[in-house]
Amino acid sequence: MTRVLSVASECVPFVKTGGLADVAGALPGALASAAVEMRSLLPFYPAVREATGEVPSVFQIEDLFGGAAAIRRGQMGAAAIYFLDAPHLFDRAGNIYLGPDGKDWPDNPVRFAALSRAAALIALHGIEGWRPQALHLHDWQAGLTPVYLREFRLAERIKTLITIHNIAFQGLAPAHLLSALDLPAQGFTRDGFEYWGQISALKAGIVYADKISTVSPTYAEELMTPQFGMGLEGVLRDRAGDLSGILNGIDLEVWAPDYKTRRGKEKHTKALRAEFGLPEGDGPLCVVISRLTGQKGLDLLIEALPALLENGGQLALLGSGDAAMEAQFRALAERHPAVAVHIGYDEALSHRMIAGGEAILVPSRFEPCGLTQLYGLHYGTLPLVSLTGGLADTVIPATAATLAAGVATGIQFNPVDTQSLVNAIHRLCRLYRQPDIWDKMLRNAMAHPVGWDSSARAYADLFQTITGPV
């Protein structure tokens, strides 16, 4: 068995703000059958403490950036999970990244440098008689780990893989924090972790990790372009030989439809209309489950919505984010009986929406992988998506050729602008009015593989590549 420590800032079922948490929670179980023993490290936020209760301390850290800390041991299914209990850094109510003002906690660079440092200390000393051969680092919050491993002279023995879930978040910190974060001054260069005069935790991971992955093959290619690389495209091009794209999967035990046909789905659609107070219509009941941000392209949906309503469709939306966008969707719901909006997030409601929706809309400007379209496929809730990232890799678009071959699973549109989205909505509604075609697409979608099997094997191969034969 290859021993791997996964280091993440969030992880289902303990704490979640996005898809990273789903991946961090699913991978240990998925990898177990691929001869990888993966344990995890997660901050001990108040929400985690509430979920776990008191769990035993198994590792002490006398001083971790301004205070004592302990690592506690819990269980996640059959796998061990460790919690970094540093009250001076993580014992805060509310969002794990944002303060009450809705802005990043000012000390986020220190908080997540502590997570990286704790991971390196586990690699240095071992924990409970267990020492990882490799560390799996998720996003910028774990990006400084390879730097600390170098400081501990462990880089040759303990290998690292960093996974980029979203390059838009880079963990930038002012240069004057170099000493406070215990970072070597010689690393603060263009070839190290310096980024336009600041420290970049994500760049540190990209530069110093043994391998780099991201969450879809198309996004891996996109990251090496100025349009998508967010200023790090050159660094990634330099490491193109070490970069791979591995699609995310979904937990098929958590996401398990109780039907296999359109007829079986109908009761969920009826129940969802009733729950949201939506009328019957001649078009599809479309759902959106998303952060309300420009990245997600939901401003385009606001502009394109008349096309759906004119075709007799309805929209049920669950999400939160940009305050102006929230207000716009609320206003639309007040004006249009066929639009219903729930601002916030509710995991149980998201399951009911995926089951009851007939189509799911994901008009993102960029999307590293995306999970909601995978849930949609698995539930026969046909995805309408932009042609980018993981959306391009997971949805087979309804074209003349794919419909003739009987393989289409959804709708794609490109370029990502309002008119293209309008055209895609009209196309969706035309297909909806052709029951034989729609039923075939629904069956195709539900048969499409969206689990972790192939991706887990790809991760296992990566770990074996960097650690050598077990």
Q: How far apart are the first and last CA of the chain?
A: 6
Distance CA 86, CA 437 (A): 56
What are the residue boundaries of the structural domains of the chain, listed by start? Answer: 2-249+452-467, 262-447
pLDDT in tens, the chain (470 residues): 999 999 999 999 999 988 899 899 999 999 999 999 999 999 999 999 999 999 999 999 999 999 999 999 999 999 999 999 999 999 998 899 999 988 999 999 999 999 999 999 999 999 999 999 999 999 999 999 999 999 999 999 999 999 999 999 999 999 999 999 999 999 999 999 999 999 999 999 999 999 999 999 999 999 999 999 999 999 999 999 999 999 999 989 989 999 999 999 999 999 999 999 999 989 999 999 999 999 999 999 999 999 999 999 999 999 999 999 999 999 999 999 999 999 998 989 999 999 999 999 999 999 999 999 999 999 999 999 999 999 999 999 999 999 999 999 999 999 999 999 999 999 999 999 999 999 999 999 999 999 999 999 999 999 999 998 65
Q: Which of 459, 250, 193 is nearest to 374 (CA)?
A: 250
How many Å apart are CA 300 and CA 293, to the nearest integer?
11
| Pairing relationship of beta strands 382-386 and 172-174 according to DSSP bridges | unpaired
Entry field: residues in the chain: 470
CA distance 37 to 371: 25
Do 71 and 126 form a contact (C-beta atoms < 8 A)? no
DSSP annotation of 322: -
- What the block records as the tokens of 202 is 């994500």
The architecture in CATH of the region 262-447 reads 3-Layer(aba) Sandwich (3.40)
Give the separation between CA 176 and CA 197, rounded to whole angstroms: 10
Domain 2-249+452-467: CATH architecture, name and number where available:
3-Layer(aba) Sandwich (3.40)
Count CB atoms within 10 A of the CB of residue 63: 8
Q: Which residues are annotated as a binding site for ADP-alpha-D-glucose?
A: 16
**Full strand arrangement of the beta sheet holding 2-7:** 57-61, 69-76, 79-85, 36-43, 2-7, 134-138, 159-164, 211-214, 243-245
- What are the tokens at 352? 């009911």
Closest CA to 5 of 144, 140, 107, 145: 145
Least Cα distance to 109 among 46, 47, 37, 193 occurs for 193
User: What does residue 415 show for φ and ψ, rounded to 5 degrees?
Assistant: -70, 170
Cα 198 to Cα 210: distance, rounded to the nearest angstrom: 23
pTM of the model: 0.94
Return the DSSP state at 470: -
d(CA 114, CA 110): 6
For residues 255-267, one letter each, b for 16 or more C-beta atoms within 10 angstroms of the residue's C-beta and e for the rest, the string is: bebeeeebeebee
CA–CA separation, 48 vs 153, rounded Å?
A: 32
Helix, strand, coil shares of the chain, percent, nearest 5, are 40, 20, 35
Structure confidence at residue 18 (pLDDT)? 85
pLDDT score, position 470: 54
Rg (CA), the chain: 23
Q: What DSSP character marks residue 130? A: B
Q: How far apart are the C-alpha atoms of 444 and 122, rounded to whole Å? A: 46
Indicate if 262-447 has the same CATH topology as 2-249+452-467: yes
Q: For the residues of 275-299, what is the DSSP string, one character each? A: HHTPPP-SS-EEEEEEEESTTTTHH
Q: How many CB atoms are closer than 10 A to CB 447?
A: 13
- What residue numbers does the annotated binding site cover? 16
Q: Greatest CA separation found in the chain?
A: 67
The one-letter amino acid code at 274 reads A
Q: Which residues pair with 82 in a beta bridge?
A: 41, 73
Which amino acid, residue 81? I
44, 75, 108, 238, 298 from 88: Cα distances, Å: 11, 24, 12, 38, 37
Q: What are phi and psi for residue 163, nearest 5 degrees? A: -110, 125
Quick one: pLDDT at residue 102? Answer: 85
Burial class (CB in 10 A: 0-12, 13-18, 19+), 340: buried
